[in-house]
Amino acid sequence: MRTTTKIAATAVVCGATTLGLSACGAATSGTKAAAPRAAAVVSPRHTPQADVVHPDPRPRTHSASAAPSAAAPSSAAAPSSAPSSAPSSAAAPSRAARTEHPAPPVRTSTPAAHPVHTRLAPPPSAATRGGGHSLPVQATAVSAALQHSTGEAGRSVALTFDDGPDPRWTPRILDLLAQHHAKATFCEIGPNAAAHPQLVHDILAAGDALCDHSVHHDEQQSHKSAAYNRHEIVDAQHQIAAAAGSASRLWYYRAPGGDFSPTIREIAAGHGMRPLAWTVDSEDWKRPGVNTILKNINTELKPGGIILMHDGGGPREQTVRALSVLLDRLDAAGYTYTFPGR
C-alpha cells in the first residue's frame, strides 16, 4: 500500500488569488463541493520515487548497486517538440523513498471488465526470449535513472496520461490539449495501441510524445523474472511502434503503478526509453470527484513537476472535466507545457 507525503503547494499568482485548484478561477462546471475521500478506498499503486526492494531472501536477477542513481540527470536529447532536453532540478521527488514492499492487494477501483488489467500475461514471445525483434525500434542510449522533472527550467509542467489509448476518452483529452496549445506524454498499453492505431497517429500528429506502459499493466512487475519484464517492456514497445509507424519514437517507459526495479529500469534504458516517474499524483483513477482530483494536483504541484492522469483503464469523465479546469488555471498562472526530461 502506498504511503503518500504531500508536498506543500507552491503559491502561484492567479488573478488576485493563489493557484488553489479547488478555489482559483472559475468554479468546476456541474460539480458539487468535494466530499472527503472514502477511507475504504486505498491505492495499491507504488510510489515511483525509488526502486521497490523486496524482503524475499531468494536470489534476485538484478543488482541494485549496478543501477544508476535515481537522482542522476540525463544528457540525452529530448523530443524535438520540447524546447529543451536538459532535465530540471526544480521538482525534486516529493515522497519518502520506499525501503521494502510487501505484495500489494489487487486494485479494485478499476472496473474488472477492463481486459488489460485482468487477463493473465502469456509467456514471453519468441522475439524477446531470443533477443530478436520483429519490428525495428530506434534505440539510443539513455539514462536508467528515474526521471522526476520536466526538460525545462522555470514555470513548466509535464502532463502525462496513462493506460490508453481509449476511443472514448483520448480524443476528448486531445481536443482539450489543442484548445490550450498544450503538449502531453501518453503512456500506452501495448494491446490498446495495437487496437487503436488511428488514436496513436492522432497523438503524434498533435505533437505529443509516446511512452511505453507495458503489455498487461501488471503492478507487481518487479516481483517477476527478467524474462517476464523484457516481455512486458519490449513487446509493448513493438506494439506501440507498429501502431505509430516506423518513423515514430517512444521516449519513455513507465512501469504500471510505478513498480520499478533496477532490472526494469535497465531493460527500458537499454531499449532507448527513459524510466518515467511522476511528482504529482491526481489519483483520478479512483474517480473521487472533480474537485478532489484538482485538490490532489494543487497539493503537490510546483514548477518542473510531472502530473499523472489517465486516458484509459476505466471511465474517465471526471478526468476530462478536471483537465478542462486545470488547463484554464495553469494558463492563468503562467505555466508552460513541456515534456519530461530525458
- What CATH number has the domain spanning 164-342? 3.20.20.370
Query: What's the gap between Cα 307 and its chain centre?
Result: 8
Q: What is the CA radius of gyration of the chain?
A: 19
Q: How far apart are CA 310 and CA 305, in angstroms?
A: 16
- The single residue of 148, 281, 310, 311 carrying the catalytic annotation is 310
Locus of grid cell 513487446: 235
pLDDT for 34 = 40
**pLDDT at residue 246 in the model:** 72
| Contact criterion met (CB below 8 Å) for 126 and 306 | no
Q: Which residues contact 294 (CB under 8 A, 6 or more apart)?
A: 21, 22, 28, 322, 325, 326
| Nearest C-alpha neighbor of 227 from the set 174, 257, 197, 267 | 267
pTM of the predicted model, to two decimals? 0.67
What does the pLDDT read at residue 93? 39
Each domain of the chain, given as residue ranges in start order, spans: 164-342
Residues 6+ apart with CB under 8 A from 290: 28, 31, 34, 318, 321, 322, 325
Stated as kind and residue range, the H or E segment containing 195 is: helix 190-195
Q: CA-to-CA distance for 189 and 195, rounded, in angstroms?
A: 10
- Rounded to 5 degrees, what angle do the CA atoms 194, 198, 200 make? 65
Which of 51, 162, 218, 328 is an active site residue? 162
**162 among known catalytic residues:** yes
Write out the chain's pLDDT in tens, 342 residues.
343 333 333 333 333 333 544 434 333 334 333 434 333 333 345 455 567 655 443 443 333 333 333 333 333 333 333 333 333 333 433 433 333 333 333 333 333 333 333 333 333 343 333 333 334 445 567 999 999 999 788 999 999 999 999 999 999 999 999 999 999 999 999 999 999 999 999 999 999 999 999 999 999 999 999 999 999 999 999 999 999 997 788 999 999 999 999 999 999 999 999 999 999 999 999 999 999 999 999 999 999 999 999 999 999 999 999 999 999 999 999 999 999 998
In terms of DSSP bridges, do strands 17-18 and 13-14 run parallel, antiparallel, or are they unpaired? antiparallel
- Angle of helix 236-244 versus helix 197-205 axis, rounded to 10: 70
235 catalytic? Reply is no
List Cα–Cα distances, 17 to 12, 31, 275, in angstroms: 8, 21, 36
Closest CA to 301 of 309, 312, 313, 290: 309
CB 318 within 8 A of CB 25: no
Distance (Å, whole) CA 269 – CA 261: 12
Helix count and strand count (H, E) for the chain: 10, 10
pLDDT score at 239:
97
On whether the CB atoms of residues 104 and 44 are closer than 8 A, the answer is yes
- The whole-number pLDDT of residue 247 equals 72
